[in-house]
């Protein structure tokens, strides 16, 4: 697998504008979910550490994906896990919280790190510690207006909401200044996975990618 630089991976995440957060509990179905999302145009896929055998699965799937697909790891809480997922093939690392040692580990391997933050102080601290994109989490109660407010004094920070992003409001976050959106259950519908309805996941992916594109064209 050809190595893409940190900046190259960040650029690819921004270009797609959508990071699919995969939290399924049936590891045998992961490949089908990844393929369904890819078919719908989502190029950045985050497998969380809450998925059974997550690191092993990343190791199995990462080498089989075309270079334009970015398979990342989510819910990474410490440096040891960050190193393990990177060695397994994760192209980016996401956390629900800000841990400086996770950023340091990612950068040692030239892999971007996206820590989770909630307040403006946390967001700036993470950015100054080298965060490549700051995940605002949980964004559910904050709303797109929060992004607009934060980007006033902090226009240099790349922000990505996770939590509270739906297929229909994704464009609102982009218009408010998000460089991408992190989307979990709204995109990877657990009921669709349970009944092996991967066409529904592809349709969801197409819809959210289109909404992001329309929002950008309108800016």
- Catalytic residue set: 46, 135
Are 48 and 23 within 8 A, CB to CB? yes
**164 secondary structure, DSSP code:** S
Question: What residue spans of the chain are helical by DSSP H?
Answer: 6-16, 30-39, 54-61, 79-88, 100-108, 120-128, 144-151, 170-175, 190-194, 198-217
Are 165 and 181 within 8 A, CB to CB? yes
Question: What residues contact residue 143 under an 8 Å CB cut-off, 6+ apart?
Answer: 164
- Closest by alpha carbon to 16, among 151, 183, 142? 183
């Amino acid at each position: 697998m050809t190595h893409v630089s940190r900046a190259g991976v960040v650029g690819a995440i921004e270009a797609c504008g959508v990071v699919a957060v995969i939290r399924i509990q049936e590891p045998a179905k992961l490949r089908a979910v990844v393929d369904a999302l890819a078919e719908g145009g989502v190029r950045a896929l985050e497998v969380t550490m809450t998925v059974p055998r997550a690191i092993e699965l990343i190791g199995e799937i990462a080498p089989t994906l075309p270079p334009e697909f970015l398979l990342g790891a989510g819910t990474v809480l410490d440096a040891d896990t960050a190193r393990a997922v990177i060695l397994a093939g994760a192209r980016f690392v996401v956390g629900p919280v800000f841990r400086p040692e996770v950023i340091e580990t990612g950068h040692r391997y030239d892999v971007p790190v996206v820590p989770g933050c909630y307040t403006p102080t946390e967001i700036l601290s993470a950015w100054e510690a080298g965060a490549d994109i700051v995940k605002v989490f949980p964004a559910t109660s904050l709303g797109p207006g929060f992004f607009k407010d934060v980007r006033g004094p902090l226009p240099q920070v790349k922000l990505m909401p996770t939590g509270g992003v739906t297929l229909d409001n994704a464009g609102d976050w982009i218009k408010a200044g998000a460089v991408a959106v992190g989307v979990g259950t709204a995109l990877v519908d657990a009921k669709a996975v349970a009944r092996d309805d991967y066409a529904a996941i592809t349709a969801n992916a197409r819809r959210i990618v289109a909404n992001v594109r329309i929002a950008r064209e309108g800016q």
